[in-house]
């Protein structure tokens, strides 16, 4: 069999637990997430320490940047479904992200926002489409799909661990220019990896030329997409540099995207529409989850920067921001597989909880984690510095909440969506993250002290009080979701 003649059926009829193509997508995503989470871990610290932003302004700016990053995943998913296909979207996104990293590296203080705009558009084209390609490796109803997404999610977190360990440390202790240059270098590795392994994907990810009418028309629309995304960069720069505009954008993008999804839903049967409604319900709840969880890149990053001892289990000289950036990812890598095996063990005994119950458990574990973050104030010294061990325990608990929600959500978007809508619905899943990131920035800013001369103790009190409130909100969301579980399960029909 030649590499060029591999069919979709041959790919999906794989033996064993995982299709071989999953490993190349795992590697591509791992290096991209190295860049994304490394950048995320640097944002608030860089803006506060190098750009002179206050904690409140840095939180707002962080929320705006992350919101735009994830908002563009909806656009990227839409253009992949309609024009580019998953492969070309991934290539174009990766090229833009490489450019963004190197642009900032030239002069971080001067070109930070310009490079960030390239990364925003690049991530939009890259992120939803590689996840959709994972879903297409499986036939409808294949029970191995969740296990595949769990492995893929481990790749995400392996990259996040490496990026979180290295990039913020390089920025703080070596050179911010070098740290941002790593984005360009590592993203190039991701791009080259996909280039040399894409032949194994068979027909997966090609542009929908039949739907576009002709090769020439497809090519014209493809070029127009590339040019249009470049022309959008100046507008994005204006929006990102002025976080006040973020409100306006978020008020428009979400409702417009939802209306478009409702329009697309009219093309499908009643049963398919019910599944899409269930998918949208999961998407809505995920907004609240990410709004709390994503304090890790905002308020928790500044909390680690200002309020934690540099000692972990007796080992001195531990950078708290490195712990903040990597603890969650390390725990995901360690416990994703055992939790997946637990679901399989329960399924064999017909006791596996439904997807909506797993989501509800995710919120309840999130609440416990934020109560732990709140409790750090009880271990503080007179200088406002508190226990890195208790802080790390909070991340240990939050990890299990994430594992009950995030990989399950990725899998659900491919299970509940008709094939022609998978890129779009994966984009909606990440658009929900955009709103979560946006709200995370607002919540983080609300927890920040208004006084620029506030002491570490003042900041500790302000942040821990905020974490207590978030814990209460997470409990409420979890209880509501568990109550709605029977309704959602009915909408999903036979989908597990």
189: confidence class by pLDDT, cuts 50, 70, 90: very high
Give the model's pLDDT for residue 4: 52
pLDDT for residue 5: 63
pLDDT computed for residue 117 by the predictor: 92
pLDDT of residue 114: 93
Per the structure, the complete domain to which residue 237 belongs is given by 18-492
In this structure, what token pair is assigned to residue 408? Answer: 């399950």
Residue 291 lies in a domain: yes
Tell me, yes or no, whether 3 lies in a domain: no
Predicted local distance difference test score (pLDDT) of residue 472: 94
Percent of the chain beyond pLDDT 70?
96
Place of tokens 């990131």: 437
Query: Residues near 373 by Cβ (< 8 Å), separated by ≥ 6?
Result: 300, 303, 391, 394, 464, 467
In a domain, 2, yes or no: no
Q: Please check the confidence at residue 409 and state whether its pLDDT lies above 90.
A: no
Q: Tell whether 30 is covered by a domain.
A: yes
Q: What is the pLDDT of residue 112?
A: 92
Average pLDDT score, the chain: 84
What was the pLDDT predicted at 495? 66
pLDDT in tens, 280-302: 999 999 999 988 888 877 788 88
Q: What CATH number has the domain bearing residue 315?
A: 1.20.1250.20
Residue (of 313, 257, 265, 260) closest to 287 by Cα position: 257
pLDDT in tens, 450-486: 566 778 788 888 888 889 999 999 999 999 999 998 9
How many domains does the chain contain in total? 1
Write the pLDDT tens digit of every residue in 224-261.
Answer: 999 999 999 998 888 888 767 777 777 888 888 889 88
Query: Is residue 11, in this structure, part of any structural domain at all?
Result: no
From CA 64, how far away is CA 69, in angstroms rounded?
9
d(C-alpha 252, C-alpha 274), whole Å: 25
Higher pLDDT, 100 or 77: 100
pLDDT at 380: 85
364 vs 52, which has greater pLDDT?
A: 364
Examine residue 61 and state whether it is found in any structural domain, yes or no: yes
* Each residue's pLDDT tens digit, 359-390: 999 999 999 999 999 999 988 888 888 889 99
Higher pLDDT, 446 or 286: 286
Residue 428 lies in a domain: yes
């Amino acid at each position: 069999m030649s590499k060029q003649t591999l069919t979709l059926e041959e790919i999906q009829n794989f033996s064993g637990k995982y299709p071989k193509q999953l490993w190349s997508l795992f590697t591509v995503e791992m290096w991209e997430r190295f860049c994304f989470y490394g950048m995320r871990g640097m944002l608030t610290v860089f803006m506060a320490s190098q750009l002179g932003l206050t904690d409140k302004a840095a939180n707002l700016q962080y929320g705006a940047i992350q919101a735009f990053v994830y908002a563009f995943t909806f656009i990227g998913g839409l253009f992949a479904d309609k024009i580019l296909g998953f492969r070309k979207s991934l290539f174009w996104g990766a090229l833009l992200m490489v450019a963004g990293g190197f642009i900032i590296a030239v002069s971080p203080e001067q070109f930070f926002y310009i490079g960030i705009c390239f990364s925003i558009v690049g991530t939009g084209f890259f992120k939803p489409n590689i996840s959709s390609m994972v879903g297409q490796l499986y036939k409808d109803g294949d029970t191995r799909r969740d296990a595949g997404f769990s492995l893929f999610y481990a790749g995400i977190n392996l990259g996040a661990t490496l990026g979180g360990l290295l990039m913020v440390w390089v920025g703080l202790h070596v050179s911010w220019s070098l740290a941002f240059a790593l984005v360009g270098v590592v993203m190039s590795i991701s791009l080259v990896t996909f280039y040399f392994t894409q032949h194994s994907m068979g027909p997966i990810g090609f542009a929908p030329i039949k739907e576009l009418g002709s090769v020439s028309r497809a090519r014209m629309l493809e070029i127009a997409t590339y040019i249009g995304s470049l022309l959008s960069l100046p507008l994005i720069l204006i929006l990102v540099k002025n976080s006040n505009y973020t409100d306006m954008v978020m008020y428009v993008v979400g409702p417009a995207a939802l209306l478009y999804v409702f329009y697309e839903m009219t093309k499908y049967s009643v049963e398919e529409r019910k599944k899409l409604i269930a998918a949208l319900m999961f998407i809505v709840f995920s907004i609240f989850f990410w709004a709390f969880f994503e304090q890790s890149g905002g308020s928790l990053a500044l909390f680690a920067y200002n309020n934690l001892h540099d000692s972990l289990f007796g080992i001195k000289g531990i950078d708290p921001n490195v712990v903040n950036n990597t603890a969650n990812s390390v725990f995901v890598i360690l416990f994703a597989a055992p939790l997946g095996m637990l679901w399989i063990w329960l399924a064999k005994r017909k006791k596996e909880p439904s997807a909506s119950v797993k989501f509800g458990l995710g919120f309840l574990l999130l609440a416990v984690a934020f109560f732990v973050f709140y409790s750090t104030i009880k271990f503080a010294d007179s200088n406002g510095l508190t226990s890195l061990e208790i802080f790390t325990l909070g991340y240990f608990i939050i990890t299990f909440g994430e594992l009950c929600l995030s990989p399950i959500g990725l899998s659900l978007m491919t299970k509940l969506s008709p094939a022609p809508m998978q890129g779009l619905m994966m984009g909606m899943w990440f658009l929900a993250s955009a709103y979560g990131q946006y709200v995370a920035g607002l919540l983080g800013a609300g927890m920040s002290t208004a006084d620029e001369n506030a002491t570490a103790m003042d900041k500790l009190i302000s942040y821990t009080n905020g974490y207590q409130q978030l814990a209460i909100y997470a409990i409420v969301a979890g209880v509501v979701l568990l109550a709605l579980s029977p309704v959602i399960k009915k909408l999903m029909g036979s989908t597990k």
